A and B are shown apart, each in its own frame.
Chain A
Amino acid sequence: MAATKLKARFKKDVVTVKALMNHPMETGLRKIKETGKLVPAHHITEISCTANGKEVLSANWSGGVSKNPYLAFKYAGAKGDEIALTWKDNKGGTETVTSKVK
């Protein structure tokens, strides 16, 4: 599984953070056609993003967010800020990625 991509760019006092996660985002409502069985829910529930250790954005998600989710947000920051993004899914899976603002 490819890791989450995290990019942050500084422009005119504002840092734009863009993240692309790698996750199936199953709602738990989809059926396998051949067997008629439901695919169990498996989606990201919580996201936390920090800049220099301070939380700038947190999010709660349902399975209604698309597969391999994309997230972008903006905050007042500076070049060189340390960005960290952590996601957790409903099966206990988690990943943390870090990046520097360019």
Chain B
Amino acid sequence: MNANHKRRVFLKGSVAAGTIGVAASAGLLAPAAVMAEWPANAFSARKVPDALDNLLGSNATEASDKIKIKAPEIAENGAVVPITIESGIDGTESIALLAAANGTPLVATFTMGEGAKAYAATRIKLGKTGDVIAVCKAGGKMYSARTGVKVTIGGCGG
């Protein structure tokens, strides 16, 4: 009986501690809100036009050969696909990187600050063979380029 009572007390104590934990993590999350808000609805969109709509307010893009995407033609490992994007368009403000065949196509967005070149390189996951799309925003207009990447082993799920 006594032991059972102690167990109750312990349970109560741990519940209280849990509440404090939640409060603390909520506090930790607050500074993130100060930075540019993470566009959750754009990142969770399942189709390329939806993702662009949610991110940039429009999905009307103009194909441009001034945007260069460097990507492997065949990616042996879809979990690590190196991508380099370089835009030759004057005044490129931001670059969005999308993988058309991924469940959630929007992978990353880059915003250029003062003095930054329209250049970004990273490594992304590709679920299956598909296009890698780069959308550059410059002077209120959107330009896009795409390149196909063949994936032999997918990098999403497992």
The B-contacting residues of A in range 20-67, CB under 8 angstroms, are 27, 29-31, 33, 45-46, 48, 51, 54-67
Q: Do residues B124 and A64 form an inter-chain contact, with CB atoms below 8 A? A: yes
Interface residues of B in 1-49 (CB under 8 A from A): 25, 28-29, 31-32, 35-36, 38-39, 43
Q: A57-B113, A74-B117, A75-B115 are in contact. Are A62 and B32 (CB under 8 A)?
A: no
With contact pairs A27-B156, A73-B119 given, residues A57 and B112 touching in the complex (Cβ less than 8 Å): yes
**B residues in contact with A48, CB < 8 Å:** 35
**In the complex, B63 has a CB within 8 A of chain A:** no
Instruction: Specify which chain A residues have a CB less than 8 angstroms from the CB of B99 in the assembled complex.
Output: 64
Choose one: A51, A65, A73; the contact of B125 (CB below 8 Å).
Answer: A65
B104–A62 CB distance below 8 A: yes
Q: How many B residues have CB within 8 A of the partner chain? A: 42
**Interface presence of A3 (CB below 8 A):** no
Query: Which residue of chain B is the closest to A91 with respect to CB atoms?
Result: B25
Main secondary structure of the interface of A (DSSP, over half): strand
Q: A34 to B26, alpha carbons, bound, how many Å? A: 32
Answer whether residue B140 sits at the interface, using C-beta atoms and an 8 A cutoff: no
Starting from the known contacts A29-B103, A58-B35, A73-B116, 4 additional A-B residue pairs (CB-CB under 8 Å) come to A58-B113, A64-B99, A64-B108, A72-B120
A-B contact pairs, 28 of them (CB 8 A): A29-B103, A30-B156, A31-B157, A31-B158, A33-B158, A46-B32, A54-B113, A55-B114, A58-B110, A58-B111, A59-B120, A60-B38, A61-B109, A62-B106, A62-B107, A64-B99, A64-B108, A65-B123, A66-B125, A67-B80, A69-B123, A70-B122, A71-B122, A73-B119, A75-B115, A75-B116, A92-B28, A92-B29
B contact residues vs A (CB 8 Å cutoff)? 25, 28-29, 31-32, 35-36, 38-39, 43, 79-82, 84, 99, 102-104, 106-117, 119-125, 155-158
